[in-house]
Amino acid sequence: MRQKRMNKMNLEQQVLEVIKNRRSIRRYKPHPVPREKIELLIEAARWAPSGENAQPWRFIVIEDSGKIKAIGKIAGMADRRQFSAEFAAGETEERLKKIRDPKKRQKIMEKLTGGHVSSFLENAPLIIIVCGRKDVWDLPYDCSAAIENILIMAVAAGLGTCWVESPVMDVRDEEKIKEMLQIPKNFKVLTAISVGYPDESPKPRPRLPRDDLVFYESFGRRETNV
Ligand SMILES: Cc1cc2nc3c(=O)[nH]c(=O)nc-3n(C[C@H](O)[C@H](O)[C@H](O)COP(=O)(O)O)c2cc1C
Protein backbone atom coordinates (compact mmCIF):
# COMPACT_ATOMS: atom_id res chain seq x y z
CA MET A 1 0.00 0.00 0.00
CA ARG A 2 2.71 2.44 1.09
CA GLN A 3 4.85 1.35 -1.86
CA LYS A 4 1.96 2.03 -4.29
CA ARG A 5 1.52 5.52 -2.86
CA MET A 6 5.27 6.13 -3.11
CA ASN A 7 5.28 5.06 -6.79
CA LYS A 8 2.79 7.80 -7.62
CA MET A 9 4.85 10.53 -6.00
CA ASN A 10 7.55 12.58 -7.64
CA LEU A 11 11.07 12.45 -6.25
CA GLU A 12 10.69 15.53 -4.02
CA GLN A 13 7.59 14.12 -2.39
CA GLN A 14 9.20 10.71 -1.98
CA VAL A 15 12.26 12.14 -0.24
CA LEU A 16 10.08 14.23 2.08
CA GLU A 17 7.88 11.22 2.78
CA VAL A 18 10.93 9.16 3.79
CA ILE A 19 12.23 11.98 6.00
CA LYS A 20 8.84 12.42 7.67
CA ASN A 21 8.40 8.69 8.18
CA ARG A 22 11.55 8.42 10.24
CA ARG A 23 10.97 7.87 13.94
CA SER A 24 13.31 6.90 16.71
CA ILE A 25 12.65 3.18 17.00
CA ARG A 26 13.55 1.59 20.32
CA ARG A 27 11.89 -1.81 19.99
CA TYR A 28 13.09 -4.27 17.37
CA LYS A 29 12.16 -7.66 16.00
CA PRO A 30 14.86 -10.19 16.83
CA HIS A 31 15.77 -10.85 13.14
CA PRO A 32 19.29 -9.94 12.13
CA VAL A 33 19.84 -7.10 9.65
CA PRO A 34 20.99 -8.55 6.30
CA ARG A 35 24.51 -7.71 5.19
CA GLU A 36 23.35 -5.89 2.02
CA LYS A 37 21.17 -3.57 4.08
CA ILE A 38 24.09 -2.76 6.39
CA GLU A 39 26.19 -1.97 3.30
CA LEU A 40 23.43 0.34 2.04
CA LEU A 41 23.47 2.30 5.31
CA ILE A 42 27.24 2.65 5.24
CA GLU A 43 27.16 3.72 1.58
CA ALA A 44 24.64 6.46 2.46
CA ALA A 45 26.91 7.61 5.30
CA ARG A 46 29.98 7.63 3.06
CA TRP A 47 28.32 10.14 0.71
CA ALA A 48 27.58 12.69 3.43
CA PRO A 49 29.18 16.11 3.09
CA SER A 50 32.13 17.02 5.35
CA GLY A 51 34.17 20.17 5.93
CA GLU A 52 37.03 20.26 3.39
CA ASN A 53 35.86 16.77 2.42
CA ALA A 54 37.83 15.47 5.41
CA GLN A 55 35.57 12.41 5.87
CA PRO A 56 36.79 11.94 9.44
CA TRP A 57 34.15 9.33 10.26
CA ARG A 58 34.63 5.61 10.88
CA PHE A 59 31.81 3.14 11.47
CA ILE A 60 32.03 0.06 13.66
CA VAL A 61 29.26 -2.42 12.93
CA ILE A 62 28.48 -4.52 16.00
CA GLU A 63 26.40 -7.69 15.94
CA ASP A 64 28.07 -9.45 18.86
CA SER A 65 25.36 -9.74 21.52
CA GLY A 66 27.88 -9.51 24.39
CA LYS A 67 29.18 -6.17 23.13
CA ILE A 68 25.65 -4.90 22.41
CA LYS A 69 24.54 -5.80 25.97
CA ALA A 70 27.59 -4.05 27.43
CA ILE A 71 26.92 -0.86 25.43
CA GLY A 72 23.25 -0.93 26.48
CA LYS A 73 24.28 -1.25 30.13
CA ILE A 74 26.62 1.71 29.86
CA ALA A 75 23.82 3.75 28.22
CA GLY A 76 21.31 2.83 30.96
CA MET A 77 23.71 3.75 33.75
CA ALA A 78 24.54 7.05 32.05
CA ASP A 79 20.85 7.96 31.79
CA ARG A 80 20.27 7.03 35.40
CA ARG A 81 23.14 9.29 36.50
CA GLN A 82 22.05 12.21 34.32
CA PHE A 83 18.35 12.11 35.12
CA SER A 84 18.94 11.51 38.85
CA ALA A 85 21.20 14.58 38.92
CA GLU A 86 18.47 16.56 37.12
CA PHE A 87 15.91 15.27 39.61
CA ALA A 88 18.11 16.24 42.58
CA ALA A 89 18.53 19.71 41.10
CA GLY A 90 14.73 20.06 40.84
CA GLU A 91 14.84 20.25 37.04
CA THR A 92 12.65 17.21 36.35
CA GLU A 93 9.46 18.97 37.52
CA GLU A 94 10.13 21.74 35.02
CA ARG A 95 10.82 19.23 32.23
CA LEU A 96 7.54 17.41 32.90
CA LYS A 97 5.35 20.38 33.75
CA LYS A 98 3.22 20.02 30.61
CA ILE A 99 2.14 16.52 31.63
CA ARG A 100 -1.00 17.02 33.71
CA ASP A 101 -1.79 13.42 34.70
CA PRO A 102 0.18 12.76 37.94
CA LYS A 103 0.29 8.99 37.30
CA LYS A 104 1.75 9.50 33.85
CA ARG A 105 4.25 12.00 35.24
CA GLN A 106 5.32 9.55 37.93
CA LYS A 107 5.76 6.81 35.33
CA ILE A 108 7.97 9.00 33.15
CA MET A 109 9.96 10.11 36.18
CA GLU A 110 10.62 6.47 37.13
CA LYS A 111 11.62 5.66 33.56
CA LEU A 112 14.09 8.53 33.48
CA THR A 113 15.73 8.08 36.88
CA GLY A 114 15.64 4.27 36.64
CA GLY A 115 17.91 4.35 33.58
CA HIS A 116 15.27 2.90 31.26
CA VAL A 117 15.49 5.40 28.41
CA SER A 118 18.49 4.23 26.40
CA SER A 119 18.99 0.77 27.93
CA PHE A 120 16.80 -0.54 25.08
CA LEU A 121 20.10 -0.63 23.17
CA GLU A 122 20.79 -3.93 24.94
CA ASN A 123 18.10 -5.57 22.81
CA ALA A 124 18.99 -4.08 19.44
CA PRO A 125 20.11 -6.66 16.87
CA LEU A 126 22.78 -4.31 15.60
CA ILE A 127 24.62 -1.19 16.70
CA ILE A 128 26.72 1.11 14.55
CA ILE A 129 29.25 3.06 16.55
CA VAL A 130 30.24 6.29 14.84
CA CYS A 131 33.68 7.59 15.71
CA GLY A 132 36.00 10.02 13.99
CA ARG A 133 39.41 11.68 13.84
CA LYS A 134 39.87 14.15 16.69
CA ASP A 135 42.19 16.35 14.64
CA VAL A 136 39.40 17.38 12.25
CA TRP A 137 37.74 20.70 13.19
CA ASP A 138 34.31 19.90 11.88
CA LEU A 139 34.16 16.41 13.36
CA PRO A 140 30.75 16.69 15.12
CA TYR A 141 29.09 18.34 12.11
CA ASP A 142 30.63 15.90 9.65
CA CYS A 143 29.60 12.89 11.69
CA SER A 144 26.10 14.26 12.27
CA ALA A 145 25.62 14.53 8.50
CA ALA A 146 26.72 10.91 8.08
CA ILE A 147 24.50 9.75 10.94
CA GLU A 148 21.42 11.45 9.50
CA ASN A 149 22.11 9.82 6.11
CA ILE A 150 22.10 6.44 7.87
CA LEU A 151 18.81 7.18 9.63
CA ILE A 152 17.11 8.29 6.42
CA MET A 153 18.44 5.42 4.31
CA ALA A 154 17.27 3.01 7.00
CA VAL A 155 13.66 4.18 6.55
CA ALA A 156 13.89 3.55 2.81
CA ALA A 157 15.32 0.10 3.57
CA GLY A 158 12.42 -0.78 5.89
CA LEU A 159 14.61 -0.56 9.00
CA GLY A 160 14.26 1.37 12.23
CA THR A 161 17.05 3.23 14.00
CA CYS A 162 17.73 5.41 16.99
CA TRP A 163 20.53 7.94 17.40
CA VAL A 164 21.74 7.27 20.96
CA GLU A 165 24.16 9.64 22.62
CA SER A 166 23.89 8.23 26.14
CA PRO A 167 26.68 5.63 26.06
CA VAL A 168 29.28 8.26 25.13
CA MET A 169 27.97 11.42 26.78
CA ASP A 170 30.37 10.99 29.68
CA VAL A 171 34.04 10.79 28.71
CA ARG A 172 34.56 7.93 31.21
CA ASP A 173 31.93 5.88 29.39
CA GLU A 174 33.45 6.83 26.06
CA GLU A 175 36.77 5.47 27.32
CA LYS A 176 35.13 2.15 28.25
CA ILE A 177 33.68 1.85 24.77
CA LYS A 178 36.99 2.80 23.16
CA GLU A 179 38.73 0.08 25.11
CA MET A 180 36.08 -2.53 24.31
CA LEU A 181 36.23 -1.78 20.58
CA GLN A 182 39.97 -1.01 20.42
CA ILE A 183 39.37 2.48 19.07
CA PRO A 184 42.65 4.43 18.78
CA LYS A 185 43.35 7.35 21.16
CA ASN A 186 43.23 9.95 18.41
CA PHE A 187 39.58 9.08 17.65
CA LYS A 188 36.47 10.36 19.38
CA VAL A 189 33.29 8.31 19.73
CA LEU A 190 30.35 10.42 18.58
CA THR A 191 27.35 8.19 19.00
CA ALA A 192 25.73 4.78 18.83
CA ILE A 193 23.00 4.05 16.30
CA SER A 194 20.74 1.10 17.00
CA VAL A 195 19.42 -0.64 13.90
CA GLY A 196 16.82 -3.35 13.35
CA TYR A 197 13.41 -4.22 11.99
CA PRO A 198 10.87 -2.08 13.90
CA ASP A 199 8.61 -3.78 16.42
CA GLU A 200 6.71 -0.60 17.24
CA SER A 201 5.12 2.26 15.30
CA PRO A 202 5.45 5.34 17.48
CA LYS A 203 3.42 8.43 16.66
CA PRO A 204 5.47 11.36 15.41
CA ARG A 205 6.84 13.52 18.20
CA PRO A 206 5.58 17.10 17.98
CA ARG A 207 7.48 19.61 15.89
CA LEU A 208 7.61 23.36 16.48
CA PRO A 209 5.36 25.34 14.13
CA ARG A 210 7.04 26.40 10.92
CA ASP A 211 6.32 30.09 11.55
CA ASP A 212 8.28 30.00 14.80
CA LEU A 213 11.35 28.72 12.97
CA VAL A 214 11.64 30.58 9.69
CA PHE A 215 12.44 34.25 9.19
CA TYR A 216 13.05 36.27 6.07
CA GLU A 217 16.00 38.62 5.59
CA SER A 218 16.44 39.18 9.34
CA PHE A 219 15.83 37.33 12.57
CA GLY A 220 12.22 37.60 13.67
CA ARG A 221 10.87 38.91 10.31
CA ARG A 222 8.02 36.65 9.28
CA GLU A 223 6.90 38.05 5.92
CA THR A 224 8.63 37.44 2.66
CA ASN A 225 8.83 40.06 -0.11
CA VAL A 226 7.92 37.53 -2.77
C1 LIG B 1 21.98 14.15 19.15
C2 LIG B 1 20.90 13.19 19.55
C3 LIG B 1 21.06 12.42 20.69
C4 LIG B 1 20.06 11.50 21.07
N5 LIG B 1 20.30 10.69 22.15
C6 LIG B 1 19.36 9.79 22.51
C7 LIG B 1 19.60 8.92 23.62
O8 LIG B 1 20.65 8.96 24.25
N9 LIG B 1 18.65 8.03 23.95
C10 LIG B 1 17.48 7.94 23.25
O11 LIG B 1 16.65 7.08 23.59
N12 LIG B 1 17.21 8.75 22.20
C13 LIG B 1 18.12 9.68 21.80
N14 LIG B 1 17.89 10.49 20.72
C15 LIG B 1 16.61 10.42 19.98
C16 LIG B 1 15.69 11.61 20.32
O17 LIG B 1 15.12 11.42 21.60
C18 LIG B 1 14.60 11.72 19.23
O19 LIG B 1 15.22 11.96 17.99
C20 LIG B 1 13.62 12.86 19.51
O21 LIG B 1 12.89 12.62 20.68
C22 LIG B 1 12.63 13.07 18.35
O23 LIG B 1 11.91 11.88 18.09
P24 LIG B 1 11.97 11.19 16.66
O25 LIG B 1 13.41 10.82 16.39
O26 LIG B 1 11.11 9.97 16.75
O27 LIG B 1 11.48 12.18 15.65
C28 LIG B 1 18.87 11.38 20.30
C29 LIG B 1 18.72 12.16 19.14
C30 LIG B 1 19.73 13.03 18.75
C31 LIG B 1 19.58 13.82 17.46
226 pLDDT more than 70: no
Mean pLDDT, the chain, integer? 93
Using one digit for the tens of pLDDT, what is the confidence trace for 55-88?
999 999 999 999 999 999 999 999 888 888 887 8
Asked if 45 and 157 count as a contact pair (C-beta separation under 8 A), the reply is: no
Residue 108 has pLDDT above 90, yes or no: no
Cβ within 8 Å of residue 82, ≥6 positions away: 166, 169
- What whole-number distance in Å separates Cα of residue 145 and Cα of residue 157? 18
Distance 19 CA to ligand 1 centre (A): 15
Q: Whose CA is nearest to atom 7 of ligand 1?
A: 164
Q: Tell me, what's the pLDDT at 2?
A: 67
Cα 24 to ligand 1 centroid, rounded to whole Å: 6
Residue 205 CB less than 6 A away from ligand 1:
yes
Query: 136 CB contacts (<8 Å, ≥6 apart)?
Result: 50, 51, 54, 56, 142
Distance 223 CA to ligand 1 centre (A): 32
Question: Residue 105 — very low, low, confident or very high, per pLDDT cuts 50/70/90?
Answer: confident
Please give the CATH topology (third level) of the domain spanning 2-71+126-210.
Answer: NADH Oxidase (3.40.109)
How many angstroms is it from 181 CA to the middle of ligand 1?
A: 23
pLDDT average, residue stretch 150-156:
98
Confidence band for 103, pLDDT divided at 50, 70 and 90:
confident
Q: Cβ(58)–Cβ(132) under 8 Å?
A: yes
Query: Looking at residues 31-48, what average pLDDT do you find?
Result: 98
